[in-house]
Structures are given as structure tokens and as C-alpha cells.
């Protein structure tokens, strides 16, 4: 029993091209020998030509199907990459916010050590301020 293998897009198009060439050869034979052929032989050659043309259409359609499946896979990969990128941007924004908060705490500590009431007030106010949103969600 023969083992079935799945064709690639390129193989499918190559088969379709070969079948189209065979169909053209049958057409050329039918035209060139039209006087020598009987009506039954001409009809039979025309049926072969039609059958080959149908096979060309099927193999080309299969190649198009494989191309679309590849595009769908690529779209899924891109969407996954975008999601990972958004997650990384969120992590970066969170780290940036933590660094800003730590810097404000250092400012407050320095103001307390300096015993400057105005500096302490400014540092405390900056701690209460809401962080700016840099990254769109």
C-alpha cells in the first residue's frame, strides 16, 4: 500500500504546470491531426484535454489553499509576537514606575536629612503625585 504524503505549495504548482503543458500538447495534437482523426478520436482527445484542465485547476486551487494556510499561520505568529511585545512594554513601564518611585523616596530621604521643611514638603508631594502614562495600552 502506498504511503500518502502531503504536497507543498511549490510541488502543487509544479504539478499543475506540468498538467497544463500536457493539456496543451493534447490540444496541439487534436488541432494538427484533426483531418486524420475520426470524430470519436477527436472527442476522446477533447475529453482527455478537459480532464487535464480540471486537474490543473484542482492542483492550482490546492496550492492557493496551502498559501492561505501559510498566511494564516504567519498571521497567528505575528499576533503572538505583538502580544509578547505589549507584555514587554508593560513590564518596562512597571520597572520605570518603580525606578521613579525609588528616586522620589531617595529625594524624600535626602530632604529629611537636610532638615529643610520646604524640600521635605516638595519631596512628599512628588511621592503623592500619580505616575504619568507613557505607554499606550
Name the grid cell of 13.
504548482
Question: If pLDDT is split at 50, 70 and 90, which confidence band does 134 have?
Answer: low
The crossing angle, in degrees rounded to 10, of helices 39-114 and 117-128 is 160
The yes-or-no verdict on residue 3 having pLDDT over 80 is no
The yes-or-no verdict on residue 137 having pLDDT over 50 is no
More confident residue, 4 or 47: 47
Measuring CA to CA, how many Å separate 77 from each of 6, 80, 85, 96, 123?
A: 22, 5, 12, 28, 46
pLDDT score for 102: 87
pLDDT score for 124: 83
3-state class of 39 per DSSP? helix
Q: Is the dihedral of CA 101, 107, 112, 115 positive or negative?
A: negative
Q: What is the CA radius of gyration of the chain?
A: 36
Question: If pLDDT is split at 50, 70 and 90, which confidence band does 4 have?
Answer: low
Predicted confidence (pLDDT) per residue in 26-60, tens digit: 999 999 998 998 999 999 999 999 999 999 999 99
3-state class of 60 per DSSP? helix
Cβ(97)–Cβ(108) below 8 Å = no
Predicted confidence (pLDDT) per residue in 53-110, tens digit: 999 999 999 988 888 888 888 888 899 989 999 999 999 988 988 898 888 888 888 8
More confident residue, 27 or 135: 27
Amino acid at each position: 500500500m502506498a504511503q500518502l504524503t502531503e504536497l507543498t505549495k511549490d510541488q502543487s504548482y509544479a504539478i499543475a504546470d506540468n498538467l497544463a503543458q500536457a493539456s496543451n500538447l493534447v490540444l496541439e495534437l487534436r488541432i494538427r491531426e484533426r483531418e486524420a482523426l475520426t470524430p470519436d478520436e477527436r472527442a476522446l482527445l477533447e475529453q482527455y484535454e478537459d480532464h487535464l484542465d480540471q486537474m490543473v485547476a484542482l492542483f492550482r486551487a490546492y496550492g492557493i489553499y496551502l498559501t492561505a494556510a501559510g498566511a494564516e499561520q504567519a498571521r497567528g505568529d505575528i499576533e503572538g509576537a505583538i502580544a509578547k511585545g505589549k507584555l514587554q512594554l508593560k513590564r518596562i513601564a512597571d520597572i520605570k514606575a518603580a525606578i521613579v518611585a525609588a528616586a522620589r523616596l531617595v529625594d524624600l530621604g535626602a530632604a529629611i536629612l537636610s532638615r529643610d521643611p520646604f524640600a521635605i514638603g516638595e519631596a512628599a508631594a512628588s511621592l503623592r503625585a500619580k505616575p504619568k502614562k507613557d505607554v499606550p495600552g
